[in-house]
Each structure stands twice: as structure tokens, then as C-alpha cells.
Amino acid sequence: MAEKWLVGVDIGGTTIKLAFISEAGEIMTKWEIDTDKSNNGQQIPTDIAKAIQTKLIELDQQKEKLIGIGIGAPGPVNFHDGSIEVAVNLGWKNFPLKALLEQELGLPVVVDNDANLAALGEMWKGAGEGANDLIFVTLGTGVGGGIISSGKIVHGINGAGGEIGHVTSVIEGGAPCNCGKKGCLETIASATGIARLAVEAITSTETPSQLRELYNEQKNLTAKQVLDAAREEDELATKVIDQVTLHLGLALANLSNGLNPEKIVIGGGVSKAGDTILQPVKEQFARFAFPRVLDGVEITIATIGNDAGVIGGAWLAKTSF
């Protein structure tokens, strides 16, 4: 019998990534469509269904070639019915994604949070290399995460498991977070947080830095500029990155003391800085981890980047249907 394919879909704020993936986890074809956020994103399930049908025709394949669809969406997922409770940047509220897509396509659909899918993708085909106990943290505009324990995503009682970005790092006087709390890891270790800390350091200290001139020109900074300066051992940028990696290492060590993971995988735009982030995180992790936890773990940078979501979606479909 001819091999069947899995479908991985990763819904983002500007594009939707799609892929047909073999049962061995090999990407057969991948493509993107624009995310249509007009009319509160109501059109999105139809767009996804059409994109899949069009691609099947293009490849001269029947719908029967597809086993099912694993789809990642931003925001908390209701696992009883595969609806999205709220996805602010898509305009969704109690949006029945699974039901709508199954109706459009007549194929089984499983839905999970996008960061959880990325964690599964890294576990299956990326830096996780099959590790059954894994912490994935993604450092982008925000800080997302996924925790895998004994091969299964930790969802918790109402879908908020693995929200690593909202571990409290600063107990008093922390910056406000999108979640409503203050001092979350996300306010420090996200790209936004790194840029904010650098601007604060420039405007409130005399520490010498090549970033001062950039800041005076742009009236702002990007995380990449701060990370590049830290790589060149700029004094102020190094202090900022020391603060970021202290809190990241501390949060990951505390989570690990409860989970005893085999791998910790760091992804997202900020992780592209490689050793500038990884080495100091490892040092801080070693300070705060229980010795036996430290012995068992390997901390690495994510390897499959933008494909992690669709590969994780395929894994979810493979293990669900």
C-alpha cells in the first residue's frame, strides 16, 4: 500500500504554514498562505481547507492519501472540543477550529497550542532527538514554552501547562506583562524584554556602550543589536544579557528540579544568538539545579526553527489517529 501523509498546520499572526509529512517525519512538501484576519479571522478554516485541497490537486493526490491534520494555534486550547478559547491577534473567541475544519475537509483534526506543537516537533525531529522528557522554551516577541513528560505534552487542568514565560522572575517592582501580572520571565527574556532592559540601562546608568549612539539615532533598540553588542563584549550589553540569562537559567533550573528533563531546547529569534545566550544560561542553570538534575540534562539550541510547528502537528496527528 502506498505511504500515507500527515498534515501539519501552524497558524501565525501573519502567515499560516502548512506541510505534508511522511509517517517517518520527512517533509514531502511545505508552503505558506497569508493569515486573513479580517472579519475576526472567520475565513481562516476555509482558507486552510482550500489550501490543502489545491495542493492535493497540484500533486495529483486524493484526499485518502491524508491520515489527518495536526494544527497549532496561538492561545489557550480547549481540549474537549478543539476550540480556541481566545486568540487576540486573530480575533478569535471560543472559536470551534476543530469542528469547522473537520466539516470543511472531512478529515480528522487535532488542535493544540502552537508552542506545544513546536516542542513536539523539536522532540521528534529536532534538538530533542526523541527525548521523552523535555522542556522547550521559545524566546521571540514573547516567551512561549512546552513541557513534555514521558512523551506527552503537559496540558494541565485547563490548558495552561508549559506557560514558562509567566514564571515570576522579579518578585517586586517588575515590568507589567501581557498576562496581567508583573515581573514575568517574558518581560525579561523575550526580544521585547531584552530591548527594554538595554534602553533602561542606557537612560539610567553611565555604563559605556556602543549602543548609546544607536539609541540616540533610533530612539529605540532591537534585541539583535543588544545581542550583537554582547558578542563583541560591549560592557552594557553584556550586563543586560547577564541579567537575561540569570533569570532564564534560574527559571529553567527551578522547572527542571520538578521535572528532571533529559533535554532543554531553546528556540525562537533570540536563540539565533547561539553561544552568547547558551553559555551563560548553562552557567546559571548549573548554579540553581539540583545536582542529579544537572547530571541528567543537556541544554541546546533548537535546530528545526520554522518547521517545528508543522512537524509537531504531524506528530500529533500520527499519535492521535
Of the ranges 52-60, 74-82, 184-192, 285-293, which one interacts with Zn ion (CB under 5 A)? 184-192
Sign of the Cα pseudo-torsion (277, 279, 280, 286, in order):
positive
292 contacts Zn ion (rule: CB under 5 A): no
Nearer to Zn ion, 99 or 175 (CB): 175
Tell me which of 18, 87, 120, 177 binds Zn ion, using CB under 5 A.
177
16 contacts Zn ion (rule: CB under 5 A): no
Sign of the Cα pseudo-torsion (265, 267, 270, 275, in order):
positive
Nearer to Zn ion, 152 or 181 (CB): 181
Query: Minimum distance between the CB of residue 246 and Zn ion, rounded to whole angstroms?
Result: 18
166 contacts Zn ion (rule: CB under 5 A): yes
Q: Report which secondary-structure segment, H or E, holds 214.
A: helix 211-218
Nearer to Zn ion, 166 or 247 (CB): 166
Query: Minimum distance between the CB of residue 168 and Zn ion, rounded to whole angstroms?
Result: 8
Instruction: Give, in order, the Cα–Cα distances in Å from 252 to each of 147, 259, 260, 289.
Output: 11, 10, 11, 8
Residue with cell string 477550529: 97
Nearer to Zn ion, 169 or 300 (CB): 169
Residue with cell string 506583562: 177
Cell of 139: 524566546
Rounded to whole angstroms, the Cα distance separating 115 from 137 reads 8
Nearer to Zn ion, 109 or 184 (CB): 184
Tell me which of 21, 110, 184, 236 binds Zn ion, using CB under 5 A.
184
Tell me which of 181, 218, 232, 292 binds Zn ion, using CB under 5 A.
181
The torsion angles phi and psi of 23, rounded to 5 degrees, stand at -70, -15
Half-sphere exposure of 288 (CA within 13 A, CB side): 20
179 contacts Zn ion (rule: CB under 5 A): yes
Nearer to Zn ion, 166 or 282 (CB): 166
Query: Minimum distance between the CB of residue 1 and Zn ion, rounded to whole angstroms?
Result: 49
Query: Minimum distance between the CB of residue 194 and Zn ion, rounded to whole angstroms?
Result: 16
**Cα angle at 182 between 12 and 170, to 5 degrees?**
110
Give strand pairing partners of 95: 84
**Axis-axis angle for helices 235-259, 223-231 (nearest 10):** 100
88 contacts Zn ion (rule: CB under 5 A): no
107 contacts Zn ion (rule: CB under 5 A): no
Nearer to Zn ion, 186 or 307 (CB): 186
Helical H segments across 234-307, by residue range: 235-259, 275-288, 291-296
Query: In the complex, which residues of this chain contact Zn ion (CB under 5 A)?
Result: 166, 177, 179, 181, 184
